[in-house]
């Protein structure tokens, strides 16, 4: 299977980190792994494996025809089994499908439910979803929303939690010889509720359930 991922940038962020992790994983499990950043490269580019085929198309504004043609030519040349669109990249991927109708698009949605409800493109995404091959959601609240709202095949709507490829041996100070290890990877955004997490850790520490904590 050949998969082409499309994402806005590879700046430091949750969706961007997942795109890199998935691109690296696809190399070992699929025939070919291609990752396209549309607007900006970013610092996570250096974490890509050398055998991931990376493209940057230099999108400057929403109707950047030259950048769109670059993306179209990449998809046409690669002929992927799945065009994996992260978050709002799905809009350009759907335009690609107009010219390459056999393209199968999987939408990977990373934002919180409150972001989705406030977002102006929400009705458009719901309408476009009838042409999605499938959808991946990063939390169960989004999964419930997707099952109710999206118009693609419900059997192809799935919850996939974010994962990390950090090796314990490569990050001294994050892992301890004994006890339960908790590695918190969420970005600093309101929906991640960091204060609640810190208060929970403090409560456990006061109860003697946590003996060592590194922030």
Walk across the sheet containing 134-137 and list its strands.
Answer: 53-56, 32-40, 2-9, 82-86, 105-109, 134-137, 157-159
Where b means 16+ CB within 10 Å and e means fewer, 146-176 reads: beeebebeeeebeeeeeeeeeeeeeeeeeee
If you average pLDDT over residues 22-48, what whole number do you get? 92
Q: What is the pLDDT of residues 95-105, one digit of tens each?
A: 999 999 999 99
Strand 53-56 relative to strand 2-9, pairing = unpaired
Higher-confidence residue: 183 or 200?
200
If you average pLDDT over residues 192-206, what whole number do you get? 78
Q: Are 19 and 10 in contact (CB under 8 A)?
A: yes
């Amino acid at each position: 299977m050949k998969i082409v991922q499309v994402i806005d940038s590879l700046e430091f962020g949750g969706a961007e980190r997942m795109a890199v992790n998935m691109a690296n994983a696809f190399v070992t499990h699929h025939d070919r792994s291609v990752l396209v950043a549309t607007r900006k490269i970013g610092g996570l580019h250096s974490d890509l494996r050398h055998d991931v085929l990376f493209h940057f198309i230099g999108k400057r504004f929403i109707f950047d025809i030259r950048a769109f043609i670059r993306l179209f030519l990449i998809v046409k040349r690669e002929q992927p089994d799945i065009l994996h669109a992260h978050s709002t990249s799905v809009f350009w991927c759907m335009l690609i499908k107009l010219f390459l109708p056999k393209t199968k698009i999987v939408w990977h949605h990373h934002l919180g439910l409150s972001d989705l409800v406030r977002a102006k493109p929400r009705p458009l995404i719901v309408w476009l979803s009838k042409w999605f091959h499938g959808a991946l959601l990063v939390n169960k609240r989004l999964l419930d929303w997707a099952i109710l709202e999206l118009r693609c095949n419900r059997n192809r709507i799935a919850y996939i939690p974010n994962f990390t490829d950090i090796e314990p041996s490569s990050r001294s100070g994050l892992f301890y010889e004994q006890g339960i290890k908790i590695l918190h990877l969420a970005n600093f955004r309101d929906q991640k509720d960091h204060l609640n997490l810190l208060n929970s850790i403090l409560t456990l520490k006061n109860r003697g359930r946590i003996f060592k904590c590194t922030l």
